[in-house]
Amino acid sequence: MAKKPSSLKNMLIALFVITAVSGGLLGLVYGLTKDAIAEVELQKNEKAIKEVLPLGEGITYTADTITLDDNGVTLSFPCNLARDANGTLLGAAIKTTEGGFGGNIELMVGITTDGIIKGVSVLSHSETPGLGANMEGKFKDQFADKKPGDNIILEVTKSHDGKKVDAITAATITSKAFTKAVDNAFKAFESNKSQLQKGGQQ
Amino acid sequence: MSNHLQTFTKGLIKENPILVLLLGCCPTLATTTTAVNGMSMGLATTFVLVLSNIFISLLKGFIPDKVRIPCFIVVIASFVTIVQLVMQAFVPSIYETLGLFIPLIVVNCIVLGRAEAFASKNPVFPSLLDGLGMGLGFTLALTLLGCIREFLGCGSIFGFTILPETANILVFILPPGAFICLGFVIAIVNKLKKESH
């Protein structure tokens, strides 16, 4: 087939038809995959909640939002509150985000009402593979069962006294951001705890 | 038939997009931190390359010369978005490793380069072979670079640890290591090519 000459009419038709067909096709594919993607996201969320807050059976999770005043800036954290059959608050799985080295690090932190961090799960990040991305290992596990209220201060430090968080080698920014994110979630939960506990009994 | 075979194989070594044509270096440098990342990126690109080559070859009579680039980009971007949506929905585990890199395929100059240099001038079947050959050559180069960088930087290949942590040379995971590795690999390939002549 010979090439069409580049007249205004031909160019307009070609561009219009190609963009219209592409747009229609994309809309179709989006419609077909939308539910599946939402389902995947939901499952990922649920899995993360169960992972960071293993409380056994018979627990109902309700979505909520808690806020924290950080030096005049109000941060809000989407969270899932875990209550037992009587409506007593047992803990919360809190979503927390902090800017890392390559973009935002999104974490899910599970905290119980007695102030213990049960676990942390990484929802998404874009840190350097082989460096910051190593957070999903030894580094992350350090946070499990920590009780920041006592003598443990959540702060990245070089000292190896076992009370503080050991940073990832060559990924200081990632380590600091990760720790800050967990810390924020903890503070937010602690400052909202009494109010949330009241809310459940009503 | 031998002509078709040549169309396919030229992308693998003789006109390898990375090692010889030096096309698409941006994703090459960015995604080859590990062997798995390099290979997945290569395969995703191959898929888009084959589909865009087929469609651009089919549409070549319909697209006037002056607006060919925007038309090609729209076709390529559509396929990339389809790949992204489908992966997100049905293979979330692969999507999680690759998520960040998939939109990068749109701006990969191999895809546009092959559309411009080959698919817009040739019939459908050779265009398909060209896309497949170039894509696999790209995958080969990316996997090789990924293996080297992962081995030197993390002491492992495809996630299997080979060297202890103390033997890791961090710079190979970082961007400068990508340039160093690519330079050496190209030098070695050129040397081998010269000797085989």
- Model confidence at B18, pLDDT cuts 50, 70, 90, reads confident
Q: How many angstroms away from the CA of A202 is the closest CA of chain B?
A: 40
Whether residue A25 is contained in a domain is answered as no
User: Which of B144, B147, B126 shows the shortest CA–CA distance to B136?
Assistant: B144
Instruction: Report yes or no: A131 at the B interface, CB cutoff 8 Å.
Output: yes
Q: What's the total number of domains in chain B?
A: 1
Q: What's the total number of domains in chain A?
A: 1
Answer whether A22 sits within 8 Å of B89, measured CB to CB: no
Contact B104, B30 (CB under 8 A): yes
From the CB of residue B103, how many other CB atoms can be counted at a distance below 10 Å? 12
- Range from A42-51, A74-83, A124-133 carrying the lowest mean pLDDT: A124-133
Whether residue A91 is contained in a domain is answered as yes
pLDDT mean across residues, chain B:
85
Task: Tell me the residue range of the domain where B106 lies.
Answer: 2-196
User: Which of B53, B39, B34 shows the shortest CA–CA distance to B140?
Assistant: B39
- Please give the average per-residue pLDDT across B20-26, as a whole number: 81
A74-126 pLDDT, tens per residue? 888 888 888 887 778 888 888 888 888 888 888 888 888 888 888 888 888 87
Whether residue A34 is contained in a domain is answered as no
Instruction: Report yes or no: A1 at the B interface, CB cutoff 8 Å.
Output: yes
Question: In the prediction, which pLDDT does A202 show?
Answer: 43
The pTM (predicted TM-score) of the whole model is: 0.73
Answer whether A3 sits within 8 Å of B71, measured CB to CB: no
B134-153 pLDDT, tens per residue? 999 999 999 999 999 988 88
Answer whether B74 sits within 8 Å of A22, measured CB to CB: yes
H or E element: which one contains A69?
A: strand A60-70
Distance CA A16, CA A10 (A): 10
Task: Tell me the residue range of the domain where A61 lies.
Answer: 53-201
**Complex ipTM:** 0.70
How far is C-alpha A201 from the geometric centre of its chain's CA atoms? 28
